[in-house]
Copies of this chain bind each other. A is one copy, B any other.
Amino acid sequence: MSTTPLRVALIGTAFMGRAHSQAWRVAPRMFELPRDVEMSVIVGRDAGRTEAAARQQGWHEAATDWKQVVERDDIDVVDICTPGDSHEEIALAALAAGKHVLCEKPLANTVAEAERMADAARDAATRGVLAMCGFSYRRTPAVALMQRIVAQGRLGDIRHVRAQYLQDWISDPDAPLTWRLDKEKAGSGALGDIGAHIIDSAQWISASLITAVSAQLRTFVTSRPVQGESVGLGGRGASGAERGPVTVDDAAVFTADFDNGALGVFEATRMALGRKNANRIELNGSKASIAFDFERMNELEYFSADDETGLQGFRRIQVTEPEHPYLEAWWPAGHGLGYEHAFVHEVVDLVRAIDAGSEIHPTFDDAAQVQRVLAAVETSAGDESRLTKVEKK
């Protein structure tokens, strides 16, 4: 292992900040990494809360001024876990300062922002500086295995892509009005938050881009109780409280054309009562099909038309074998992983790529393409669901 550790600054102390902290902590311990990692500084707006987070999560320092931090010589990587409206400014500053950047998804709140970020990332790449967007599900082992299976050509012609991301944390009309329900902060609702994930997964796994969409957006509950303090996800609101307007969608549905000829159906919602984190994707090809549901994240369903007639069926693969992506570092077969492991794997791949000077995915270009799909969805939804071309870069 190299003697100079990679020094990391994390910006953001909420849900994603905790998940990323866990990743930086665990990755170098469970995996053989070419360079050690130093959890140097965590940055937040509130000094006290950031101090507490540093202590709790094991960061050496706490800071409140991200602008100063991203300029520091003793920082190599900037990890951005703030709401989407601040991504561009931070990422551009960090890349300009020569820092490798890991930026949470969605990359930005608008296509214009995302494209400026992608431009900056391409430019930085010429100077050996990496930029990665945090579509973490790509590194859930079962999802990574899906991508590998498709890349091996096992599916034949892909006809169908069927992707859903179903949650229910605001199914209750009195769930509180968090920043995630505020268009200014979050850019969009279910669409940008969880829809972005399944758009990215679908394009990545199928190795194909979405070229057009026909969409509807819906806000079922148009006002919610205001809270003194924003929280990351859910919580239970008080029904007597003052209510403010919900300015984002509760649900987004769309059909999609892929450039490989596949026909897609997408649904993202936070109102599917009983579905907690049903991030699902299924691809049907001419030779095989694969299906995944994050609620059973250690499993992959695989059907092959090459199996003997009379013995065909979807196989429930437990994606816990040493042959499976990332599993060489973990436990014996059948001993499953959890949600945060995908973040660990992000860090593993990023550290390895930095050390090797190689590429890393998802690139900001990948993420900008997701943003263009999101924009096309909004355009279509505002134009009588008309089939709307996704802009080309």
The 8 Å CB contact of A25, one of B26, B32, B276, is B26
Query: What is the interface residue range for chain A against chain B?
Result: 35 or more
Chain B residues closer than 8 Å to A179, beta-carbon distance: none
- Alpha-carbon distance between A15 and B25 when the two chains are bound, in angstroms: 19
Known: A29-B22, A261-B220, A316-B313. A332 touches B251 (CB 8 A): no
Residue among A57, A167, A172, A253 having the largest count of chain B Cβ atoms under 10 Å: A253
Residue of B nearest to A267 (CB): B265
| CB within 8 Å of B: which A92-147 residues | 145
| CB within 8 Å of B: which A259-314 residues | 261, 263, 265, 267, 269, 271-278, 284-289, 294-298, 300, 302-303, 305, 307, 309-314
Residue among A30, A159, A251, A303 having the largest count of chain B Cβ atoms under 10 Å: A159
CB-based contact B295/A19 at 8 Å: no
Chain B residues closer than 8 Å to A245, beta-carbon distance: none
The 8 Å CB contact of A331, one of B218, B298, B340, is B340
| CB within 8 Å of B: which A200-236 residues | 214-216, 218, 220, 232-234
Residue of B nearest to A291 (CB): B274
CB-based contact B284/A310 at 8 Å: no
The 8 Å CB contact of A251, one of B149, B218, B263, is B263
A271 to chain B, nearest CB (A): 5
The 8 Å CB contact of A320, one of B145, B276, B323, is B276
Mark interface residues in A138-169 (1 if CB within 8 Å of B CB, else 0): 00000001000100000001011010100111
Cβ of A386 within 8 Å of any chain B Cβ, yes or no, is yes
- Alpha-carbon distance between A121 and B288 when the two chains are bound, in angstroms: 46
A131 to chain B, nearest CB (A): 26
A317 to chain B, nearest CB (A): 4
CB-based contact B234/A332 at 8 Å: yes
- Alpha-carbon distance between A149 and B251 when the two chains are bound, in angstroms: 24
CB-based contact B313/A317 at 8 Å: yes
- Alpha-carbon distance between A253 and B256 when the two chains are bound, in angstroms: 10
Residue among A278, A284, A288, A337 having the largest count of chain B Cβ atoms under 10 Å: A284
Mark interface residues in A47-86 (1 if CB within 8 Å of B CB, else 0): 0000000011110000000000000000000000000000
Cβ of A238 within 8 Å of any chain B Cβ, yes or no, is no
A–B complex contacts, Cβ < 8 Å, 6 sampled: A1-B55, A25-B26, A232-B332, A273-B286, A297-B336, A312-B321
Please report A residues at the B interface, Cβ cutoff 8 Å: 1, 15, 18-19, 21-22, 25-26, 29-30, 32, 55-58, 145, 149, 157, 159-160, 162, 164, 167-169, 171-173, 214-216, 218, 220, 232-234, 250-251, 253-255, 257, 261, 263, 265, 267, 269, 271-278, 284-289, 294-298, 300, 302-303, 305, 307, 309-318, 320-321, 323-324, 330-341, 384-387
